[in-house]
Amino acid sequence: MKMPTVNTENGTLFLHPDRNLAMELVRATEAAAIRAVPFIGRGDKNAADKAAVDAMRKFLGTVNFDGVVVIGEGEKDEAPMLYNGEHVGNGRGPACDIAVDPIDGTSLTAAGRQNAISMIAVSDRGSMLDASSVFYMDKIVAGHEAVGIVDIRKPIGENLRALAKAKGKPIGEMVVAVLDRPRHAQLIEDIRTAGAGTRIMLDGDVAGGINAARYGTRIDMCVGIGGSPEGVATACAIKALGGLIQGRLVASSDDERQKGLDAGLKFDYIYEADELVSSNNTYFVATGVTDGGLVSGVRRKGPTIHTESIVLRGRSGTVRRVIGEHLADKWIGELDFGNVGDHA
């Protein structure tokens, strides 16, 4: 039996997050994904995000935990958000840090493209790096073969050759996921010059990083500058996969750099997995909004709505897939699937 730990903030007792929390979190990501469906391909990413945020917030309010949003979403473009510092859950049960993105890939959703997911990452209270004051992070993610071999400080070609050798495959068969951004033009050229192929992502480097760390996928490495919140969330998943993640904060201005320094963040410094998330008691949960390499998107099949989710637990090192079949009539309305807070 686990012994309770004293919460020194208010003198109450709480337990660390346990395995029962996972299914409660899946309900929240499923609701957000389903609620975003009417906005797929409609060109309005903020409307999609708002629908997903509202659904996720309502479901999280019923969960037996005291969650604090350490990594929220929306700061970059003033979209609707579950904001940093917001308390979620019913206040009873384990005290947790939360990284949340009701839709990772709002632009993908708005355009009707693949790889949009709804995701939540959870760890023990006080264990997540609060990198919210600095939007971007240069990251490298790979599987367990990369541990002790790959280092973000080395040239990408050197890392690729070392990882190819460790994996026992020709470098010509290596595939690297990179966000499609002008800032990555030289990085992409260097990857191809080294002899490897690229998988160019329009958005959604959380899924790219997880696929790079999972065994048996087509992605061997995920690199480049993406969101710092996504880096922390990915680290929660990597704890379950035994892979490698390193991150280096990138300030877009002197003012942002100073805000980061004032918040206690380090620049010109490599954050390892245990610094991004110091606890091994982590959960990462994602439900597909649109189809992708990590999970399939929401689908309407006759009277049912089908969802696919992935659940990764750091403590046990397990990866589970959850297939949901939801009676569509319970999500009242053909277009908006109804009042999600009362169903699922």
Sequence ranges of the binding site for Mn(2+) = 49, 73, 101, 104, 230
134: left (phi over 0), alpha (psi -120 to 50) or beta: beta
Asked if residue 95 lies in contact with residue 123, where contact means CB atoms within 8 angstroms, the answer is no
- Taking the C-alpha atoms of residue 159 and residue 174, their distance in angstroms, rounded to an integer, is 11
In terms of residues, how long is the chain?
344
Number of Cβ within a 10 Å radius of residue 75: 16
Asked if residue 286 lies in contact with residue 117, where contact means CB atoms within 8 angstroms, the answer is yes
Q: Which contacts (CB < 8 Å, 24+ apart) does range 270-275 have?
A: 270/152, 270/153, 270/246, 271/129, 271/137, 271/231, 271/246, 271/247, 272/245, 272/246, 273/235, 273/238, 273/239, 273/244, 273/245, 273/246, 275/129
- Taking the C-alpha atoms of residue 335 and residue 175, their distance in angstroms, rounded to an integer, is 39
Known binding residues for substrate are 104-106, 136, 181-183, 203-205, 227
198 DSSP assignment: E
- Taking the C-alpha atoms of residue 121 and residue 109, their distance in angstroms, rounded to an integer, is 21
Per-residue tokens: 193: 């010059």
- Taking the C-alpha atoms of residue 130 and residue 99, their distance in angstroms, rounded to an integer, is 10
Q: DSSP strand E in the chain: where?
A: 5-6, 13-14, 66-71, 87-88, 95-104, 117-124, 136-142, 175-179, 197-201, 221-227, 244-250, 271-272, 283-288, 299-301, 304-313, 318-327
Known binding residues are 49, 73, 101, 104-106, 136, 181-183, 203-205, 227, 230
Exposure string of 122-138, with b = 16+ CB inside 10 Å and e = fewer, is bbbbebbbbbbbbbbbb
- Quote the crossing angle between the two packed helices 21-36 and 45-60, to the nearest 10°: 150
